[in-house]
Structure 1
Amino acid sequence: MKKQSLLISIILLIAVSLVACNGGDASTQSTNEETTDSNKLKIYTTIYPLEDFTKKIGGDLVEVEGILPPGADAHTYEPTSKLMVDIAKSDGFIYSGVGIDSFAEQIEESLAKENVAFINAGEGIELLAHTVEEDTHEDEAHVDEEDTHEEEHDHGDTDPHVWIDPILSITLAENIKNALVELHPDGKQTFEENFQQLKSQLEDLDKSFKDVVNQSDKKEILVSHAAYGYWEKRYGIKQISVLGLSPTEEPSQKELQRIIETATEHEINYVIFESNVSSNVTDIVQAQIGAEALTLSNLETVTDEDIKNNEDYFSIMKKNLETLKKALSSK
């Protein structure tokens, strides 16, 4: 992690130097004048829901570009020097502020002297404290090696995946709307109207999730990555996760056995994988319990296929809802 942080810092230093060499202030001023002339804001975003919400709220008044490549993992993403120069020339940079895109903090620090608005979309959202129950059983027989393993996983982290909760997504969207109004006051009516439409869609999606879970045969799902804590809190399901909050967190042999035993106890018929997360360990669990594979999108990024099919937050979430409905069935 320290090596990754050092590498990002070096990249950002090079990028800032490039901005300065290209006449950073002049370039920014020129770009902002062009934006004013075209009556459009240029906004960069991190994770996909922020990109999609900004496009829906901004409409024709905002040009939006997400920085994460299709299928990327936000936990390990590293910005390029070219991207840094592009962000320095833009009007705003929207990040989640919930910990998934930690690289955003370094971008903000490096571009502090540039005329760019940094927007924390997650402001005001209370994050869930994350604990993996299978990793924290009251087992007095834990040996020192296992205790060390627990500390390395740092299971006391907060869960950053707030956007999978439609109600919390309303807060993300409202923060984005407020930032756009501040950057472009003349577009206030457009932004307000578009936000209200988006809010209504998110409320409808919330109702759909409640209906599916309330009508389900069971409440437990077996997932490869612990990204669904907000579904647990909002809708009362229970996630049994093979990996931790970060897809790089793999269980010990003892934890793995607990996961298999818990899945068997609850007669889990499906293992839910993610479109941008692969895990040999999850494959092992699937084989051990004889479960069928299903796929969810955690929406950090979209895939090339999603882009080709013109998918958006709502179409992907509706597919997730169908997957959840099947995973919660007893068949």
Structure 2
Amino acid sequence: MRFLPFLLLIFTLQALAAKKALVVVSVLPQKTIVQGVAGDLVDIEVMVGKGFNPATYQPSPRQIARLSRAVLYVRAGMPFEQSWLPRFTAVNPAMAILDMREGLKLLPAQGHHAQDADPHIWTDPELVKQHAQRLRDRLDALFPAHKSRFDENYSRFAARLNALDRELQTTLAPVRGESFLVYHPAWSYFAHRYGLKQMAVEHEGKEPNPRSLARLIETAKRAHIHTILVQPQHSAATARVLADAIGAKLVQMDPLEADIFSALRKLAAALTAQKS
């Protein structure tokens, strides 16, 4: 029996040694990207879970505590990061930070001041690929023993993104140049990539006033819009009013869905269905 505490200590040390490095990301689509490059070599945690709004999110004490063992934090440019990231680094000064917007050609957030960049780069497969390459380089530097695995994973992930991009180019060719209407303007990069025009109900994070809503109704009618995209993180009340006014249907489309591939295919299907 005297050896039991010693054996428990050995098992505990082995369990600790077997723990994978922790990478933390801000929103769910980033998890798909990290998994695509890192595979099963790291653990991944997401700060803003399903259904939560990154504009108003407040990390839990447990999440803050977990950051103390994170090796890398991949920021997305979401509003909550502005005030919380300094606190994250205070908890873990050794944690590396990678901004997923780094080195990319960014678009201004629609309806905001020009200096505010739209963070939703995962809606463009080409931008995802460019970010994934920088993520691979950072992981190579942090974990050189796994460099060949990261490089192989990236190559496979990039090939999947290239195939998705070709598929979307073909699917969306019939609606190129047309407009689509959303509540919250989260699809700017998608629209830019595939030659579409995104119109938004929300302006600078605010509901439209009656005059703006009337103008939007007229614009939507002229554009022959029959579908309004709404997302689960925002109220759809104003979108319903607009839908009734122009005879459109509401379609829920989540730009924060974890599976980037599925989300973009669903969006393409909704936009092409609008034409039929």
TM-score (norm 1): 0.73
Shift of the alpha carbon at 1:188? 0.5
1:70 aligns with 2:50: yes
Picking from 98, 103, 127, the partner of 2:106 is 127
Shift of the alpha carbon at 1:34? 7.4
The structure-2 alpha-carbon separation of the partners of 1:52 and 1:131, relative to structure 1 and needing over 3 Å to count, comes to closer
Q: What letter matches 2:68 in structure 1?
A: A
State which drifts further: 212-221 or 274-283.
212-221
The structure-2 alpha-carbon separation of the partners of 1:217 and 1:269, relative to structure 1 and needing over 3 Å to count, comes to farther
1:97–1:123 CA contact under 8 A, matched in 2: no
Deviations 1:181-209 (A, max 9, x none): 11111111111111111111111111122
1:35–1:41 CA contact under 8 A, matched in 2: no
Picking from 150, 159, 174, the partner of 1:215 is 174
SS at match of 2:216: helix
TM-score (norm 2): 0.86
Shift of the alpha carbon at 1:170? 0.9
SS at match of 1:222: strand
Shift of the alpha carbon at 1:108? 4.0
Shift of the alpha carbon at 1:164? 0.4
The structure-2 alpha-carbon separation of the partners of 1:244 and 1:192, relative to structure 1 and needing over 3 Å to count, comes to farther
Percentage of identical aligned residues: 25
2: CA distance between counterparts of 1:114 and 1:156? 28
Q: What letter matches 1:74 in structure 2?
A: P
Shift of the alpha carbon at 1:121? 2.0
Task: Report what 1:314 is aligned to.
Answer: 261
1:110 aligns with 2:96: no
2: CA distance between counterparts of 1:218 and 1:234? 11
SS at match of 1:294: strand
Q: What letter matches 1:298 in structure 2?
A: P
1:213–1:235 CA contact under 8 A, matched in 2: yes
Gapped runs of 5+ residues in structure 1?
1-32, 133-152, 303-311
1:162–1:168 CA contact under 8 A, matched in 2: yes
Task: Report what 2:239 is aligned to.
Answer: 282
1:325 aligns with 2:265: no
Shift of the alpha carbon at 1:88? 1.1
1: CA distance between counterparts of 2:186 and 2:31? 19
2: CA distance between counterparts of 1:227 and 1:97? 13
Q: What letter matches 1:220 in structure 2?
A: S
2:172–2:268 CA contact under 8 A, matched in 1: no
The structure-2 alpha-carbon separation of the partners of 1:103 and 1:35, relative to structure 1 and needing over 3 Å to count, comes to farther
Task: Report what 2:6 is aligned to.
Answer: none
The structure-2 alpha-carbon separation of the partners of 1:98 and 1:207, relative to structure 1 and needing over 3 Å to count, comes to farther
1: CA distance between counterparts of 2:108 and 2:49? 29
2: CA distance between counterparts of 1:42 and 1:169? 21
State which drifts further: 187-196 or 120-129.
120-129
2:182–2:230 CA contact under 8 A, matched in 1: yes
Task: Report what 2:160 is aligned to.
Answer: 201
The structure-2 alpha-carbon separation of the partners of 1:163 and 1:102, relative to structure 1 and needing over 3 Å to count, comes to farther
Number of residue pairs the alignment of both structures matches: 264
Q: What letter matches 2:96 in structure 1?
A: A
Shift of the alpha carbon at 1:154? 4.8
Gapped runs of 5+ residues in structure 2?
1-12
Task: Report what 1:167 is aligned to.
Answer: 126
2: CA distance between counterparts of 1:234 and 1:222? 17
Deviations 1:106-154 (A, max 9, x none): 334433x63322222221112212444xxxxxxxxxxxxxxxxxxxx65
Picking from 85, 92, 96, the partner of 2:76 is 96
State which drifts further: 209-218 or 80-89.
209-218
Shift of the alpha carbon at 1:155? 7.1
1: CA distance between counterparts of 2:163 and 2:178? 21
The structure-2 alpha-carbon separation of the partners of 1:325 and 1:34, relative to structure 1 and needing over 3 Å to count, comes to farther
1:35–1:42 CA contact under 8 A, matched in 2: no
1: CA distance between counterparts of 2:87 and 2:171? 40
1:260–1:289 CA contact under 8 A, matched in 2: yes
1:97–1:120 CA contact under 8 A, matched in 2: yes
Shift of the alpha carbon at 1:218? 6.4
Deviations 1:284-329 (A, max 9, x none): 1111111112222212x55xxxxxxxxx2212322222122213x1
1:84 aligns with 2:64: yes
2: CA distance between counterparts of 1:93 and 1:253? 42
